Amino acid sequence: MEAVKVEDFGPESEVEDLGRYVDKISTIVNGLEKRVNDVEHLYLTTDNMELTVTKCNSACKEKVKEKQLTGIEKRRQEASHREAASMKRMQELMRQFTTILRQITQHKWAHPFMHPVDVEGLGLHDYYEVVQKPMDFGTIKSKMEAKDCTGYKNVREIYSDVRLVFKNAMKYNDERHDVHIMAKTLLEKFEEKWLQLLPKVAEEEKRLVEEEAKAELDVKLAQEIVHSNMAKELSNELCAVDLQLEKLRQIVIQKCRKMPTEEKKKLGMALTRLSPEDLSKALEIVAENNPGFQPTAQEVDLDIDAQSELTLWRLKFFVQDKLKHAGKCSEVVDCNNINNNENTVKSNSKRRREMSDALTKNAIKRNRKLSPNS
């Protein structure tokens, strides 16, 4: 964050100089506000780390990458090692399962199940009504050799399709039919061999579940670190902005010259010329630096002498601006002389309202009338 240097204000600095630095702080605050919104969004995000980083704006994304790159890269390497080890173990299970499958397919009774059923050639018109998902060993072999997404992801998927081959044959053919008997016999042999491999498969599945849970926990921890670091950094920068604002406030107060008694009287009279709406806004200016003041009461007593110089000047510039635009400017407001003393305020009414103060000692009635008895 670019700090505003209070020392830059010389004793002869104009209000415009202060305005320049107020603009700088406003820009900084706007940037911090966007980053606060980013942090809030991060805390509400439950997706993975990559998606979380992607959803940040560019500045937020860069900070996350700079501070967490090492940790993220380390986790990626760990995940890559786990994936490689898991793939190696799965390949070993596949190899052992292939041995079992070879023993079954080489059996003398396996030939009816090696290729898809010739439904039309055999005149099996009701086959697809009985069998919803046809399967054969030729199809299984093709899926095992496939390198794309059509292939099997694990051994248990192959096991399910092998059982399906025999279950379909047993379902479609009568118990006394040769194909039914052959399928039942081969299924029993297959299940016996599968039971020998099953403990290894179950162990691998359990390990995968544990590793996935650990990886998910790592992601959450990484997110928490990102969120915590960003929140801490924002907190520090907001504190720095608060300090700069307080210094600027003190400077503004110091630069507010004392308003003479005659000007206070003119201010009180000028307040009586405001429209009801503008009068309400003027009272709100008083209330900003006077917590005990109630601008919405039916009858309001406004003691000009009790107001701070900052409030008085803010009121003065506010009244001047409103009456000027309403075409009511007169010697009571002293429009031509209100910008005296080193030409501190020029044409920017917004800057005046931020840098000046004004209030009155006159009794201001909430029934839209003022009593200029100062």
Least confident of 217-221, 241-245, 259-263, 339-343: 339-343
Q: Taking all residues of the chain, what is their mean pLDDT, rounded to a whole number?
A: 75
> Which structural domain, as residue segments, surrounds residue 276?
261-371
pLDDT at 190: 96
pLDDT above 70: percentage of residues in the chain? 70
Domain membership of residue 282 (yes or no) is yes
Give one DSSP letter per residue of 22-67, joined into a string.
Answer: HHHHHHHHHHHHHHHHHHHHHHH--S-HHHHHHHS-HHHHHHHHHH
pLDDT at 340: 44
Q: Is the pLDDT of residue 149 over 90?
A: no
Q: How many domains does the chain have?
A: 1
As a whole number, mean pLDDT of residues 267-281 equals: 87
Domain membership of residue 26 (yes or no) is no
58-99: per-residue pLDDT in tens? Answer: 555 555 555 555 656 666 677 677 777 777 888 889 899 999
Domain membership of residue 306 (yes or no) is yes
pLDDT at 369: 41
The answer to whether 180 and 169 are in contact (CB under 8 A) is yes
Most confident of 87-91, 125-129, 213-217, 247-251: 125-129
In the sheet that holds 370-371, the strands lie side by side as 299-301, 363-365, 370-371
Contacts of 163 (CB under 8 A, 6+ apart): 187, 190
> Among 368, 352, 371, 346, which Cα is nearest to 360's?
371
Domain membership of residue 196 (yes or no) is no
The answer to whether 194 and 80 are in contact (CB under 8 A) is no
275-310: per-residue pLDDT in tens? Answer: 888 888 888 888 887 777 877 777 777 888 888 888
Contacts of 300 (CB under 8 A, 6+ apart): 283, 293, 294, 363, 364, 365, 366
Domain membership of residue 181 (yes or no) is no
Q: How buried is residue 117: exposed, middle or buried, by Cβ count under 10 Å (0-12/13-18/19+)?
A: buried
Domain membership of residue 266 (yes or no) is yes
pLDDT at 284: 87
pLDDT at 174: 94
- Structure confidence at residue 52 as a pLDDT band (50, 70, 90): very low
As a whole number, mean pLDDT of residues 330-353 equals: 42
pLDDT above 90: percentage of residues in the chain? 26
- Structure confidence at residue 159 as a pLDDT band (50, 70, 90): very high
As a whole number, mean pLDDT of residues 5-20 equals: 54
Domain membership of residue 217 (yes or no) is no
3-state secondary structure of 206: helix
Q: Where are the beta strands (DSSP E) in the chain?
A: 299-301, 363-365, 370-371
Length of the chain: 374
Residue 21 CB neighbour total at 10 angstroms: 19
Domain membership of residue 287 (yes or no) is yes
Q: Which two tokens stand for residue 6?
A: 């209070």
Q: Which two tokens stand for residue 61?
A: 């994304």
